[in-house]
Amino acid sequence: MRKFQSVSVLWAVLALCAVMSGCGLLHGASETGGEIKNLDGITVIVDAGHGDTDVGTIGVSTGRYEKEVNLEVSKKLQAALEARGVRVVMTRESDEPLGPADEQDIERRKEADMQKREEIIGGANAHLLISIHQNRFEDQAVRGPQVFYLRNASDGAEYGVQFSECLQTAINEDLQIEKPRNINYGNWRLLKKGDQPGAIVECGFFSNPEEEVLLQQGEYQDRLVAAIVRGTQDYVEAYGV
Ligand SMILES: [Zn+2]
């Protein structure tokens, strides 16, 4: 009888896990650790935030431009995804302007850049979109990676919540973030293009002196990218594309 009871409890737990198998409840590295799974046949847009005359935020310790680190991380992400069979569409692969190079007006130049990105995203026929950024905040003590999904300011509709949750969980676990952050939302323009779920990955805070230095270290970038790939795999496994 006792044995029967414990088996019943086990099945109840397994059934509950099956029902609740969202990414917030997957137990990270042990689920997929060490095992490279293919993401064969899916298309992912990787957007390296900012670029050209738009430098993004500026590192508080080193003065490094956000746009440069975004591109470094994005190229590593491109390579890591392609190694798993993903077709990657990059919105930019250099610091060259995406719009006309002779446009002198900064705002018009930025608008042309954004329109070009929207055009690339809209035409990519992709399954997922990942946009790479570095964060900033007035309080320099604030740190930690944070993932954002789209919440339309007009009607409050939300998109990419589960995908963002999967990325946030993987990043928090695999980078062993001391004070893990939760996903948040914004009225992100680029996430409105195309039909694919998208996420803005703010890799960390350029306004935190230590984290800014960390974010520029190749080894840390590699771990971050591996976590983003793991989160993408977890999402695809849990929800499909
Ligand atoms: Zn940014």
CATH code of 66's domain = 3.40.630.40
Residue 125 belongs to some domain of the structure: yes
* Alpha-carbon span 160 to 166, nearest angstrom: 10
What is the 65 CA–ligand 1 centroid distance (Å)? Answer: 10
Q: Give yes or no for residue 98 having a pLDDT over 80.
A: yes
Give me the pLDDT at residue 22, please.
Answer: 79
pTM more than 0.85: yes
| Mean pLDDT, the chain, integer | 90
Neighbours of ion ligand 1 (CB under 5 A): 49, 56, 133
Per-residue pLDDT, averaged over 72-86, amounts to: 97
Give me the pLDDT at residue 21, please.
Answer: 55
Q: Give yes or no for residue 58 having a pLDDT over 70.
A: yes
Per-residue pLDDT, averaged over 80-104, amounts to: 96
For the chain, how big is the Rg over CA atoms in Å? 19
* Alpha-carbon span 44 to 121, nearest angstrom: 10
What is the 207 CA–ligand 1 centroid distance (Å)? Answer: 12
Residue 165 belongs to some domain of the structure: yes
What is the 2 CA–ligand 1 centroid distance (Å)? Answer: 58
The runs of H, that is alpha helices, within 123-202 are: 161-174
Q: Give yes or no for residue 26 having a pLDDT over 90.
A: no
Residue 1 belongs to some domain of the structure: no
Per-residue pLDDT, averaged over 134-149, amounts to: 98
Residue 3 belongs to some domain of the structure: no
What is the 191 CA–ligand 1 centroid distance (Å)? Answer: 14
What is the 201 CA–ligand 1 centroid distance (Å)? Answer: 9
Residue 10 belongs to some domain of the structure: no
Q: For residue 205, what are the domain limits?
A: 30-239
Q: Give yes or no for residue 74 having a pLDDT over 90.
A: yes
Give me the pLDDT at residue 37, please.
Answer: 61
Residue 228 belongs to some domain of the structure: yes
What is the 67 CA–ligand 1 centroid distance (Å)? Answer: 7
What is the 102 CA–ligand 1 centroid distance (Å)? Answer: 24
Query: What's the N-to-C CA distance of the chain in angstroms?
Result: 44
Query: Which amino acid would we find at residue 24?
Result: G
- In the chain, the number of structural domains is 1
**Tokens in use for 105?**
């007006």
What is the 83 CA–ligand 1 centroid distance (Å)? Answer: 26
What is the 120 CA–ligand 1 centroid distance (Å)? Answer: 19
Residue 25 belongs to some domain of the structure: no
